[in-house]
Amino acid sequence: MQQLLPIALRRSTHPKITSVLVDICKYFNAICSKAIVVEDMERLEKSIVITLCNLEKIFPPSLFTIMIHLVVHLASEAKVAGPVHYRWIYPIERYLLTLKKYVRTRSHPEGSIAEKYLADESMTFCSRFLHNVETKSNRTERYIDGYNGASTHSSLTKLEHGQLHRYIIFNLDIIEIFRNLPSYRRPKTKVRI
């Protein structure tokens, strides 16, 4: 997300707001990098304080809870404990969501979770031995370029090319602006039917 947000905000908001949000994205990019450099983390500790002050100038005070303040400590934590992606809780939370979806009986959720988990594991185990049956684990890819992943090349005949060209001209809405040009601006082309 921190890679895409600066691109999305580039021309959509005021430059001051964009610069502050881009600074936060840069901070999280550096924190989440695979290699941690101690000098960079010390520089980030100082710069994030200024970034959060600029953020407080722009956004209302109701946005700032104690969680916003904890961003200041992420750089020092990365210095001590190493890269952040080894300590993320998000994969665990995602898996807990999967387990939560297994619940069918709200009065005994642990039994429902155990039953569904056992059923999924059993189906996965059995599907590995069923070679002639399509299952979730041995399903083929949806998008295959050509046969066995090999791309193929085909060319159009002149007739097919003309039919394709006419279809595009007469049926695509994006061509409408060119169809409505005055005749003196319209390019001279021969149309064969």
Residues 154 and 145 sit within 8 Å (Cβ to Cβ): no
Residues 98 and 113 sit within 8 Å (Cβ to Cβ): no
Sign of the alpha-carbon torsion through 127, 129, 133, 139 = positive
pLDDT of residue 50: 93
Count the alpha carbons within 13 Å of 80 in the hemisphere toward its beta carbon.
5
pLDDT of residue 14: 82
Element (DSSP H or E) covering residue 150: none
pLDDT in tens, the chain (193 residues): 667 777 777 777 788 888 888 888 889 888 888 888 889 899 999 999 999 999 888 888 887 777 788 888 888 888 888 888 778 888 888 899 988 888 888 888 888 888 889 988 888 888 877 777 777 777 776 665 555 555 566 788 899 888 888 887 777 777 766 666 665 454 555 555 5
Length of the chain: 193
For the chain, the domains span: 5-86, 90-127, 156-193
What is the value of pTM for the model shown?
0.50
* Distance from C-alpha of 67 to C-alpha of 144, rounded to nearest angstrom: 46
DSSP code of residue 141: P
Return all residues near 65 (Cβ < 8 A) that are at least 6 apart: none
Residues 35 and 83 sit within 8 Å (Cβ to Cβ): yes
Residues 83 and 67 sit within 8 Å (Cβ to Cβ): no
Return all residues near 39 (Cβ < 8 A) that are at least 6 apart: none
